[in-house]
Amino acid sequence: MDSGFGYFSTHDAVSPGDLARLVEQRGHEALLFTEHTHIPIPPGGEVLKDDRGRVVPRRYWHTYDTFVACTAAGLATTRLRVGTGVCLVPQHDPINLAKTVASIDRLTGGRFELGVGAGWNEPETRDHGVDPRRRFAVMKERIEAMKRIWTDDEAEYHGEFVSFGPMWSYPKPAQWPHPPVLVGGVGPRVLERVLAYGDAWLPNYSPGILDRVAELFRLAEEAGKRVKVIMLSAPSDPRVLEECEKAGVARVMAWLPSANLGRVERAMDEFENALAEMRGE
């Protein structure tokens, strides 16, 4: 089981390139960046809360563009895997997104990972011209269409939400057949989505999540498909990290604060100390 970090890369915190170099120097495998193009202002001065009732902090509307951050991080390093945790696919044109992903994967020598999600903020999704009630169906088609663009010399796709005739689009990704698609979320149908178009599940850790990891592996075996689990929000708790490893989790990732270098390094130290204790080091 390897390790890494998730990060809201904001303009007033450690830059994506500087953080990526630090994460690589410390021997971790990956760094994933979040995405929000904007956050609509709630009417009437209401407090903005997410889908789990938590107050949304300001970093959500101060992030760099996730693909610019990934490019900066990838070009600042030589080994570190970089990616999105997660890209809100319904907010992107699939032809443009396919080009962006392929470009970053080529420029980083095949080190890009595409974490995907449909988004919880309904006004944000609606601002991009997508009905939030159909966002998962939109995401499925857009990912399917991108896979055609990445793998076919003459790509074509026709669906309810995405439709285009034969096209040429290069470069193709460095990884074959494409960068891994990490399906985020913990909703009731997320395992179906992982098996339908994902290479890995990218859930946030919570009590009981490892039971669902076991269920995913069982379903994947029945379907004759191999999938990985990459656990976000992994706590700095040696016991929990050991349970993740025993459950077959491929990578544990902790969130880093959007802050100055000192706070970031302290958070990294805490997670690394827990990993070392778990490993008996």
Please give the average per-residue pLDDT across 70-98, as a whole number. 98
Is-contact 96 65, C-beta < 8 A?
A: no
Residue 251 backbone class (left: φ over 0; alpha: ψ -120 to 50; beta: rest): beta
Q: In this structure, are residues 97 and 89 in contact, taking their beta carbons and an 8 Å threshold?
A: yes
CA distance 28 to 31: 8
pLDDT of residue 228: 98
Report pLDDT digits (tens) over 31-42. 999 999 999 998
Which of the pair, 59 or 42, is modelled with greater confidence?
59
When pLDDT is cut at 50, 70 and 90, the band that residue 54 belongs to is: confident
pLDDT surpassing 90 at residue 206: yes
DSSP-derived secondary structure for the chain:
-EEEEEE--BTTSS-HHHHHHHHHHTT--EEEE---S--PPPGGGPPPB-TTSPBPPGGGGSBPPHHHHHHHHHHT-SS-EEEEEEEEGGGS-HHHHHHHHHHHHHHTTS-EEEEEE--S-HHHHHHTT--GGGHHHHHHHHHHHHHHHHH-SSEEEE-SS-EEEEE---PPPSSSS-SPEEEE--STTHHHHHHHH-SEEEPBP-TTHHHHHHHHHHHHHHHT---EEEEBS--S-HHHHHHHHHTT-SEEEEEEPSS-HHHHHHHHHHHHHHHHHHTT-
| Mean pLDDT for the chain overall | 97
Cα–Cα distance between 210 and 1 in angstroms, integer? 15
Where b means 16+ CB within 10 Å and e means fewer, 77-101 reads beebbbbbbbbbbbbbebbebbbbb
Amino acid identity, position 170: Y
CA angle (202, 276, 235) in 5-degree steps: 40
**Is it the case that residue 49 has pLDDT exceeding 90?**
no
Mind listing the pLDDT tens digit for each residue in 127-153?
999 999 999 999 999 999 999 999 999
What's residue 42's pLDDT? Answer: 87
Residue with the larger pLDDT of the pair 49 and 85: 85
Could you give the count of Cα atoms lying within 13 Å of 94 in the half-sphere of its Cβ?
A: 24
pLDDT reported for residue 178: 98
Q: Select from 220, 221, 224, 215 the least CA-distant residue to 247.
A: 215
Model confidence pTM above 0.85: yes
**Residue 48 has what pLDDT?**
81
* pLDDT tens track for 157-168: 999 999 999 999
49 closest CA partner among 139, 160, 123, 153? 123
